[in-house]
């Protein structure tokens, strides 16, 4: 009796459900580097390198813990380059009598797993992924019968479930559930921004970097310098470092954007969380502990914990609720092709150039850059949400479809028709000027409202509201915006719209095919 345990590249946790309650003497753990996964979109080079390196280190750690591990490398000549092909081969190689696996986090992968029993001809047990705080069943139960599924209410349930930042009488610590009103400080120069720890590549990572350069050299993004944490120990170090150097200011400067400061006080832990090197609950407990010790204020700690037990869990629930239709939603009928500037960063709009340049270099941009610069631009310009979503899936090191897609299609592009966001996340140049230092060195003038030198965010913003007047003018949260629009003279309204149209005509559609299969 041999049980085959395929472990996927985002399941790198020794406490994974499929590795519990099994006799390791009768099991083979299968780890597979396959071309199909590395190229179903042409992921950023850093992302591929991170996943392969973390997988190789995880395989070594499992072996050190007594597991028998079968590790299939990408350049193994017999590699079929698909999960199913490799499971089939390994099952034969080890004369496996059953398969035990944890449900893939993405719809596409789960569909493949569901076919394994029939394709291999042995039973295949697909276990729930209990690394999340809220099971999919529990999420369905929460969602059932509700008119709207807003994150805030879900989050409160998760606070009560976990007991994080809760008083013994079930009231929230600090007397409020949410301290976001304290979390809107502008960027400030002269602050002591922390420098994230660099994890220099060891021989395993160096091998992977060589492989990625050779096989994926034409993918988007810079491969080196590569300083990401790739082991559980390094991930724990990165967590400790975040808690001690950044958490206390995380809240205040959460929405700020600053040239040359790619991380500000953000944690950069998303890739460790999404691949299993860290668990969401341990990260949140570490943050709550810092609050209890008096090392970080409530607005920072509450804001940080909300991102993880609130937004992250909620996005996963929303993804599985609406897949596979979610992927093709386009409620605002946005059809403009993705412009080439998303790949090159060649644009006179400094905020876009900075955010895209940083993305190319680091495979990272923080939440407000993603939402209020890149996503905001895509939404205002009416870019096709599927092309936008593919771009986000390619370029960020933490991009896995279950979390990328609801953030892009739902939160950022309103393409789900408002299931996730109660109003579109749109802002004019004034927002970007307030929250960043980008406008000071921009070719465009953020104070000009119309004309060739006006910040395109100013004209696109009003053009968007005018284009979608029927849908949004009755939204109570947008009443003030429309009240302002209606106060403009017809001539001024025309100016806004024609300046927007002139700008949109300058966008060249992407031709380089960065996102698609090679």
Ligand X SMILES: Cc1cc2nc3c(=O)[nH]c(=O)nc-3n(C[C@H](O)[C@H](O)[C@H](O)COP(=O)(O)OP(=O)(O)OC[C@H]3O[C@@H](n4cnc5c(N)ncnc54)[C@H](O)[C@@H]3O)c2cc1C
Query: Which of the ranges 12-20, 266-274, 452-460, 465-473 carries the binding residues for ligand X, by CB under 6 A?
Result: 266-274
Query: Which of the ranges 2-10, 216-224, 335-343, 394-402 carries the binding residues for ligand X, by CB under 6 A?
Result: 394-402
Pick one of 62, 411, 481, 515: the residue that binds ligand X (CB under 6 A).
Answer: 411
Beta carbons of 72 and 28 less than 8 angstroms apart: no
Interface with ligand X, residue 43, by CB under 6 A: no
Nearest approach, Cβ of 412 to ligand X (angstroms)?
Answer: 4
Q: Return phi, psi of residue 456, to 5°.
A: -60, -25
Could you say which residues in the range 197-226 bind ligand X, by CB under 6 A? Answer: none
Pick one of 408, 435, 439, 481: the residue that binds ligand X (CB under 6 A).
Answer: 408
Could you say which residues in the range 310-329 bind ligand X, by CB under 6 A? Answer: 311-312, 315
Interface with ligand X, residue 403, by CB under 6 A: yes
The rounded distance, in Å, linking the Cα atoms of 442 and 454 is: 11
Pick one of 7, 371, 409, 481: the residue that binds ligand X (CB under 6 A).
Answer: 371
Reference 161, options 316, 309, 318; nearest CA is 309
Pick one of 297, 375, 424, 456: the residue that binds ligand X (CB under 6 A).
Answer: 375
Interface with ligand X, residue 412, by CB under 6 A: yes
Using alpha carbons, list the distances in angstroms from residue 180 to 155, 253, 267, 300, 373.
14, 11, 18, 9, 20
For strand 27-32 and strand 68-72, is the pairing parallel, antiparallel, or unpaired?
A: parallel
The rounded distance, in Å, linking the Cα atoms of 106 and 99 is: 19
- Measured from the CB atom, is 6 or 229 closer to ligand X? 229
Beta carbons of 49 and 205 less than 8 angstroms apart: yes
Angle at 297 between CA 313 and CA 279, to 5 degrees: 30
Other Cβ atoms less than 10 A from the Cβ of 417: the count is: 13
Interface with ligand X, residue 268, by CB under 6 A: yes
The rounded distance, in Å, linking the Cα atoms of 104 and 34 is: 15
Q: Which residue do the tokens 């950069």 mark?
A: 268
Q: Which residue do the tokens 């610590």 mark?
A: 173
Pick one of 164, 308, 363, 435: the residue that binds ligand X (CB under 6 A).
Answer: 308
Beta carbons of 46 and 221 less than 8 angstroms apart: yes
3-state secondary structure labels for all residues of 303-328: HHHHHHHHHHHHHHHHHHHHCCHHHH
Pick one of 396, 461, 462, 496: the residue that binds ligand X (CB under 6 A).
Answer: 396
Pick one of 162, 205, 270, 359: the residue that binds ligand X (CB under 6 A).
Answer: 270
Could you say which residues in the range 109-128 bind ligand X, by CB under 6 A? Answer: none
- Measured from the CB atom, is 6 or 375 closer to ligand X? 375
Interface with ligand X, residue 158, by CB under 6 A: no
Query: What's the DSSP call for residue 63?
Result: H
Would you state the structure tokens that stand for residue 512, as one six-digit string? 């380089």
- Measured from the CB atom, is 308 or 426 closer to ligand X? 308
Task: Please work out the total of residues on this chain that contact ligand X, with binding judged by CB under 6 A.
Answer: 28
Query: Which of the ranges 78-86, 178-186, 263-271, 414-422 carries the binding residues for ligand X, by CB under 6 A?
Result: 263-271
The rounded distance, in Å, linking the Cα atoms of 309 and 105 is: 17
Query: Which of the ranges 95-103, 110-118, 301-309, 326-334 carries the binding residues for ligand X, by CB under 6 A?
Result: 301-309
Interface with ligand X, residue 34, by CB under 6 A: no
- Measured from the CB atom, is 355 or 499 closer to ligand X? 355
Interface with ligand X, residue 496, by CB under 6 A: no
Side-chain half-sphere CA neighbours of 254 within 13 A? 21
Nearest approach, Cβ of 73 to ligand X (angstroms)?
Answer: 26
How far, rounded to the nearest angstrom, does the alpha carbon of residue 504 sit from its chain's CA centroid?
Answer: 28
* Residues forming the site for ligand X (CB under 6 A): 266-270, 273-274, 304, 307-308, 311-312, 315, 366-367, 370-371, 375, 392, 396, 398-399, 403-404, 407-408, 411-412
């Amino acid at each position: 009796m041999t049980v085959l345990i395929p472990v996927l590249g985002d399941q790198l946790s020794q406490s994974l459900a499929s590795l519990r309650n099994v006799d390791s003497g009768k099991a083979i753990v299968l780890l597979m580097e396959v071309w199909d996964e590395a190229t179903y979109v042409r992921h950023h080079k850093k992302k591929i390198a991170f996943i392969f390196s973390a997988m190789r280190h995880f395989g070594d750690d499992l072996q050190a813990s007594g597991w028998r591990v079968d590790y299939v490398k990408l350049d193994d000549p017999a590699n079929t380059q698909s999960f199913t092909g490799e499971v089939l081969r390994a099952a034969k190689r080890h004369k496996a009598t059953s398969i035990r696996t944890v449900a893939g986090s993405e719809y596409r992968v789960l569909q493949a797993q569901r076919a394994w029993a029939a394709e291999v001809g042995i039973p295949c047990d697909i276990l729930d992924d209990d690394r999340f705080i809220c099971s999919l069943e529990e999420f369905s139960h929460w969602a059932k019968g509700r008119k709207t599924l807003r994150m805030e209410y879900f989050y409160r349930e998760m606070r009560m479930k976990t007991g994080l930042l809760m008083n013994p009488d079930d009231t929230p610590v600090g007397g409020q559930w949410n301290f976001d009103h304290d979390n809107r400080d502008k960027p400030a120069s002269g602050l002591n921004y922390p420098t994230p720890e660099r994890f220099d590549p060891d021989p395993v990572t160096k091998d992977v970097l060589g492989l990625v350069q050779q096989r994926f050299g034409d993918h988007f993004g810079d491969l080196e310098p590569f300083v990401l944490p790739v082991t559980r120990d390094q991930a724990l170090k990165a967590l400790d470092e975040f808690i001690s150097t950044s958490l206390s200011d995380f809240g205040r400067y959460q929405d700020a954007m600053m040239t040359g400061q790619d991380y500000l006080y953000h944690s950069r832990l998303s890739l460790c969380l999404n691949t299993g090197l860290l668990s969401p609950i341990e990260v949140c407990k570490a943050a709550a502990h810092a609050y209890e010790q008096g090392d970080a204020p409530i607005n920072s700690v509450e804001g940080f914990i909300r991102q993880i037990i609130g937004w992250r869990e909620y996005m996963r629930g929303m993804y599985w609720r609406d897949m596979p239709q979610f992927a093709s939603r386009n409620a605002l009928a946005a059809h403009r092709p993705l412009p080439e500037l998303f790949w090159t960063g060649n644009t006179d709009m400094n905020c876009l150039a900075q955010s895209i340049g940083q993305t190319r270099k680091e495979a990272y941009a923080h939440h407000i850059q993603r939402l209020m610069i890149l996503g905001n631009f895509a939404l205002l310009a009416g870019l096709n949400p599927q092309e936008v979503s593919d771009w986000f899936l390619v370029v960020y090191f933490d991009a896995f479809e279950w979390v990328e897609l609801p953030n892009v299609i739902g939160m950022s592009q309103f393409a789900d028709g408002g299931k996730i966001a109660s109003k579109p996340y749109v802002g004019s140049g004034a927002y970007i000027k307030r929250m960043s230092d980008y406008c000071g060195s921009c070719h465009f003038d953020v104070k000009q409202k119309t004309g060739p030198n006006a910040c395109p965010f100013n004209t696109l913003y009003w053009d968007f509201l005018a284009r979608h007047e029927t849908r949004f003018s009755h939204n109570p949260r947008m009443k003030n915006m429309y009240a302002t629009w209606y106060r403009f003279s017809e001539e001024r309204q025309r100016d806004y719209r024609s300046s927007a149209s002139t700008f949109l005509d300058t966008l060249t559609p992407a031709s380089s095919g960065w996102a698609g299969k090679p």
